[in-house]
Chain A
Amino acid sequence: MKRNDKAYIAGIFEHPTRHAPDKSLVQLHAECALGALKDAGLSPKDVDGFFGGRDIPGSNANWFIDHMNLKLRHIDSTDAGGCSPLIHVSHAVDAISSGRCNVALIILAGRPRSEQMKTGTAPRPCEPDRPDALWEAGYRPTISTAYAMMMSRHMHEYGTTLEQLAWIRVAASEHAKHNPNAMFNKPVTVDDVMRSPLVASPLRRMDCCVISDGGGAIVLVSPEIAKSLKNPLVRVIGSGHTVHGQNGGYSSLTTTGASVSGPIAFAEAGVTAKDFKYASIYDNFTIMVLMQLEDLGFCKKGEGGKFVADGKLISGNGPLAINTDGGGLCNNHPSNRGGITKLIEATRQLRGTAHPAVQVKNCDLALASGPGGFIGTGYAHATVVLERL
């Protein structure tokens, strides 16, 4: 099968901060943009397409675009929660291949840690006219109660254990110990995870990702421009996304939108799960990693517990390494959104510039996959497949 040759990831940048109390949100975004363009060997003057979600300060991206003094001919403010950058990649590929832009800047940043946001343990304010608000707000669901219920339901239906889930955190910590910028870079054991305080039963603190300030950006370019630049050639060969909603009250808490976005992206790329040795799997909670691995086809539905246990997700230990930067669980979760860091570490792996201790040998295919929004209402999911030439 001839693979897509439409757009390449020419620049990546993950902001080194994890705590930025004295930095404005707009400056954090600007530093991410400039960092990714520098990595690509390009300047803001080269950017003609812009992609960013609701984390950008202002009610839409116009103010930030003006602040950066970008001269654009394509703007996309699609917001789908944490997976927005994955969807932006899909949109940017289309925009570049149809001639709407040549250099696309994708950006995400935020400072929930400095804002002392109770990300998982307090109900999030939402627009009163959001169609779920009238039916859910009164019950005070939080992100942690949502994922706790997914976890308990998966344990109930498939016999998944707390120990198996704890291994996902252990693997993240084993990767994060090689990342000096990671928010938590001390290795932890299964016992440490099991003994960490309950947040929302059966979810424990170490099943949850970090709350960090920071951000990142990606530059996507046309094939011609990519080949004129210095970085290894990493191209986007497939993408898919969906909204995996409540289906009028007849849905399952144990299936994610990866069951839809994964097959779309894999079909476009002409790959299957067994072709991957590395995957960036959005790890807002341990259970979400396990369920996405199942839904992407890395193992049968219900067998995720066995797939992740005993350190098999640690680079070099099993057939698939995930989140070798330490992931959202240990490294970084800027703006409470995991999309951009997933794309960045997948690109590092393909370039061969991940930390040597976690670099997957001959990594020529990678994916980034993640959810966005709030399960079950408004719950998006996106998958992107990347290839190194």
Chain B
Amino acid sequence: MSNEHITLHTQALAANPDLAFFWEATKKESMLLPHCADCGKTHWHPRLFCPFCFSNKLEWKESAGKATLYAATTLSKASEPYIVAYVELAEGPLMLTNIVDYSLDDLQIGAPLTLTFSPMSSGHFLPVFRLAKK
């Protein structure tokens, strides 16, 4: 598998020192979500201000780690096919992610998902999802 995406992620991390704490937290298997203390909304992707009311009073809370599948696809043309998905976080927003450990045949839109973390060679962990256990 090509590692260009990890290189790009590492470069992006260097370009965003003000959001490094999010990725530090992933090393402890925690995904922090920005909740606006003024309007109450949770947004994704993370910013340092609320994109709805533009307040900078954000509370970064650990995600409950629950989501449902909004849409997914397997990139069949990749040398090692992988699943790209939009999931709807229990906290509200849609998030682009990967689904791991399952083939798309097992997944229906609306399926319950659980957060897990995929290690990257950079030492950080990527928040991804797997099918929730029944």
Residues of chain A at the chain B interface (Cβ within 8 Å): 121, 123, 125-126, 128-142, 144-145, 148-150, 152-153, 156, 197-203, 246-251, 253, 376
* Contact between B12 and A129, CB atoms less than 8 A apart: yes
Chain A's closest residue to B86 (CB) is A149
Chain A residues whose CB sits within 8 angstroms of the CB of B85 once the complex forms = 149
Q: In the complex, what distance in Å separates the CA atom of A232 from the CA atom of B15? A: 52
15 contacts between A and B (CB under 8 A): A121-B77, A128-B8, A134-B15, A137-B5, A137-B12, A140-B5, A140-B82, A152-B72, A200-B73, A200-B84, A202-B73, A203-B73, A249-B92, A250-B92, A376-B96
Chain B 70-105, CB within 8 Å of chain A: the 1/0 string?
111111111000101110010011111110000010
Chain A's closest residue to B41 (CB) is A248
Instruction: State which of A130, A152, A201, A250 has its C-beta within 8 Å of the C-beta of B93.
Output: A250
Q: What distance in Å separates the Cβ of B109 from its nearest Cβ neighbour in chain A?
A: 5
Q: In the complex, what distance in Å separates the CA atom of A186 from the CA atom of B114? A: 47
Q: What distance in Å separates the Cβ of A295 from its nearest Cβ neighbour in chain B?
A: 18
Q: In the complex, what distance in Å separates the CA atom of A251 from the CA atom of B75? A: 23
Chain A residues whose CB sits within 8 angstroms of the CB of B4 once the complex forms = 123, 125
Using known A-B contacts A133-B12, A134-B16, A201-B104, determine if residue A139 contacts B96 with beta carbons closer than 8 Å. Answer: yes
Chain B residues whose CB sits within 8 angstroms of the CB of A142 once the complex forms = 75, 84
Q: Which residues B3-58 have CB closer than 8 A to chain A?
A: 4-6, 8-9, 11-16, 19, 41-47, 51-52
Q: In the complex, what distance in Å separates the CA atom of A133 from the CA atom of B8? A: 8
Q: In the complex, what distance in Å separates the CA atom of A134 from the CA atom of B77? A: 24
Q: In the complex, what distance in Å separates the CA atom of A153 from the CA atom of B70? A: 7
* Contact between B74 and A200, CB atoms less than 8 A apart: yes
B64 within 8 Å of A (CB atoms) = no
B126 within 8 Å of A (CB atoms) = yes
* Contact between A137 and B8, CB atoms less than 8 A apart: yes
Q: What distance in Å separates the Cβ of B42 from its nearest Cβ neighbour in chain A?
A: 8
Chain B residues whose CB sits within 8 angstroms of the CB of A126 once the complex forms = 8
B120 within 8 Å of A (CB atoms) = yes
Chain A's closest residue to B15 (CB) is A129
Q: In the complex, what distance in Å separates the CA atom of A221 from the CA atom of B52? A: 41
Using known A-B contacts A138-B120, A141-B84, A248-B43, determine if residue A125 contacts B73 with beta carbons closer than 8 Å. Answer: no
Chain A's closest residue to B1 (CB) is A140
Using known A-B contacts A200-B77, A249-B44, determine if residue A128 contacts B11 with beta carbons closer than 8 Å. Answer: yes
Q: Which residues B107-123 have CB closer than 8 A to chain A?
A: 109, 120
Chain B residues whose CB sits within 8 angstroms of the CB of A203 once the complex forms = 73
* Contact between A249 and B95, CB atoms less than 8 A apart: yes
Using known A-B contacts A153-B109, A200-B77, A249-B92, determine if residue A135 contacts B5 with beta carbons closer than 8 Å. Answer: no
Chain A residues whose CB sits within 8 angstroms of the CB of B126 once the complex forms = 138-139
Q: What distance in Å separates the Cβ of B74 from its nearest Cβ neighbour in chain A?
A: 5
* Contact between B109 and A152, CB atoms less than 8 A apart: yes
Chain B residues whose CB sits within 8 angstroms of the CB of A248 once the complex forms = 41, 43-44, 51-52, 93
Q: What distance in Å separates the Cβ of A318 from its nearest Cβ neighbour in chain B?
A: 30
Chain A's closest residue to B124 (CB) is A138
Instruction: State which of B9, B89, B93, B94 has its C-beta within 8 Å of the C-beta of A134.
Output: B9
Q: In the complex, what distance in Å separates the CA atom of A146 from the CA atom of B61? A: 29
Chain A's closest residue to B105 (CB) is A201
Instruction: State which of B9, B73, B95 has its C-beta within 8 Å of the C-beta of A148.
Output: B73
